Amino acid sequence: MIRKKIELSLVKATLDDYQQSWNLQLDGAAFSTNSSILQPVRYEGIPAMLKIALVEEERRGSKLMVHWAGNGAVKVLRHSSAALLMERASGQGSLRDMVWNGADDEASKIICQVAAKLHTAKASASLKLIPLSEWFYALFFAANQLDGVFSQCAEIARFLLNDPIDEVVLHGDIHHGNILDAGDSGWLAIDPKALYGERGFDFANLFCNPEMTIAIQNGRLAQQVGVVSKAANLDSKRLLQWIVAWSGLSASWMLADAMPIDQKLKLIEIALSELNS
């Protein structure tokens, strides 16, 4: 309890510091995730979001947000080593809602359009990008420990990683919840992981979203592979391989966190079936 009080006190002091130094007006309650603190504010009359990174992964992502300079991502207004002040995406649209309302294909096409903009960014020495070979460590560990489907996923991941094509700066966590409606500015990305590797990787996670119950619906994966491979100019077989590899990695993380993985394993089964058909 004492530790929590100290942390809350530090959080308030940090928010107060940025509020004063950047002349921010509070515009809602602060909230937090496991990796950051967020505070809705107004900056020079503009609705904005102050994000304070608590872990190195978030700080890497913040540098990439600055690097993108609003091209496919929410525009950064101010930044420091630990904080971002971003324009707030305040449009009323939601890619999740689009899927639930029968516009799954259109949502996937929007994601592909945003990703295409993000992927034009050039790598820079100032960016601390994590290579995909390192990002997949948890899957390779799970394969060594558990074998089975994890070994199948790891074998495909190694094949892809050993012979990459079209390598770019990657967002690393593209899905329906990380692409927001920014009104007149269109759909824009938030919360990157800042990775580097084959372009196709960045599309795999959208097949696990917006909910696993949707992801494993009969025919859904095959339909969206067709939509995404065409919209993003990707080979459909290689895209399926990335879906298998990514889903195995995701299942590895979930298993380490003692989360149920039945639906994720079902998606892997569906993707392997499509791959082998």
Residues 44 and 175 in one domain: no
Instruction: Decide which of 87, 106, 130 is a domain's last residue.
Output: 87
pLDDT of residue 8: 52
Catalytic entry in 173, 181, 191, 257: 173
Assess whether pLDDT exceeds 80 at residue 60: yes
* Spatial CA neighbour of 242 closest among 145, 148, 170, 147: 170
Query: Could you give the number of structural domains in the chain?
Result: 2
pLDDT band at 13 (very low <50, low <70, confident <90, very high): low
Between strands 36-43 and 46-53, the pairing is antiparallel
Q: Model's pTM, two decimal places?
A: 0.93
Characterize the bridge pairing of strands 130-131 and 195-198: parallel
Residue where one domain finishes, among candidates 31, 66, 87:
87
Furthest-apart CA atoms within the chain: distance in Å = 60
Kindly report the backbone phi and psi dihedral angles of residue 26, in degrees, each rounded to the nearest multiple of 5, phi listed first. -60, 140
Left (φ > 0), alpha (ψ -120 to 50) or beta: where does 216 sit?
alpha
Based on its alpha-carbon atoms, the radius of gyration of the chain, rounded to whole angstroms, reads 19
pLDDT at residue number 2 = 33
- Are residue 157 and residue 72 in the same domain, yes or no? no
Residue 98's pLDDT is 98
Q: Is the pLDDT of residue 26 over 80?
A: yes
pLDDT, tens only, 132-162:
999 999 999 999 999 999 999 999 999 999 9
pLDDT band at residue 32 using 50, 70 and 90 as cut-offs: confident
* 165 and 246 inside one domain: yes
**What is the per-residue pLDDT for 3?**
33
Peptide bond into 210 cis (omega under 30): yes
17 is an active site residue: no
**Residue 78 shares a structural domain with residue 172:** no
Q: What is the CATH number of the domain that holds 240?
A: 3.90.1200.10
Q: What is the CATH number for 9?
A: 3.30.200.20
pLDDT given for residue 42 in this prediction: 97
Q: Are residues 76 and 185 in the same domain?
A: no
Residue ranges making up the domain that contains 42 = 2-87
- Picking from 202, 204, 203, 209, the residue whose alpha carbon sits closest to that of residue 263 is 209
Length of the chain: 277
Same domain, 9 and 131: no
Do 106 and 197 sit in the same domain of this protein?
Answer: yes
Task: From 52, 67, 87, give the residue that closes a domain.
Answer: 87
**pLDDT surpasses 50 at 273:** yes
